[in-house]
Chain A
Amino acid sequence: MAHLRAIVGEEGLLEDSSRAAPYECDGLAHERCRPEVVLLPRSTLEVSKCLALLHSHSIPVVPRGAGTGLTGGATPVEGGVLLGTARMRRVIEVNAKDRFARVEAGLVNIDLTRACCDEGLFYAPDPSSQAACSLGGNVANNSGGPHCFKHGNTTRHVIGLVIVMANGEVLDLSAPEVDPVGYDLVGLFVGSEGMFGIATEVTVRLTPTPEAIETLLGVFASLDDACDSVSAIIAGGWDASALEILDKLTIAAVEASVFAAGYPKDAEAVLLVEVEGSAVECHENAEGILAILADHGVLEVRRAQSERERQKLWAARKGAYGAMGRIAPDLYVSDVVVPRTKLREMVRATTDICTARGLKILNVFHAGDGNLHPNISYDRRDSDELRRVIEAGDEMARVCVEAGGTLSGEHGIGLEKLAQMKLYFSDEDLELMHTVRRAWDPSQNMNPGKLLPIRACMETRTRPVPVEASGRAGS
Chain B
Amino acid sequence: MLIQLKGGRVIDPVHKRDAKGDVFIEDGRIVAAPKVREPDEVYDVTGKIVMAGAIDMHSHIAGSNVTLGRQLMPELPVLAAEGGQPIEPSPAELGTFATGIRYAEMGYTTVIEPAMIPTHAIEAQIELASIPIIDVAGLVILGNDDYTLELLRGGRAKGDELKDYVAWTLHHSKAIGLKVINAGGSEAFKFNDRTFSLDDEVPAYGVTSRAIVEAMQKAVADLNVPHPPHVHCNNLGIAGNVDTAVATIEATQGLPIHFAHIQFYGYGNEGGKGFSSGAPTLMDAVNKHKNATVDVGQVMFGQTVTVSGDILRQFDGRRSASPKKWAINQGEGNGTGVVPYHYKSKSFVNAMQWAIGLEIFLMADDPWRVLFSTDHPNGALFVRYPEIIHLLMDKDERVRWLDDVPEASREFSNLAEISRELTYSEIAVITRGAPAKLMGLNDRGHLGAGAIGDVAVYTEQKNKTKMFAGADMVFKSGDLVVRKGKVVRVTYGRCYHVEPGFDPQIKRRVKSFYDRNYGVDPSWFGVSDAITNRRDRFATIPLSR
User: Do A and B interact?
Assistant: no
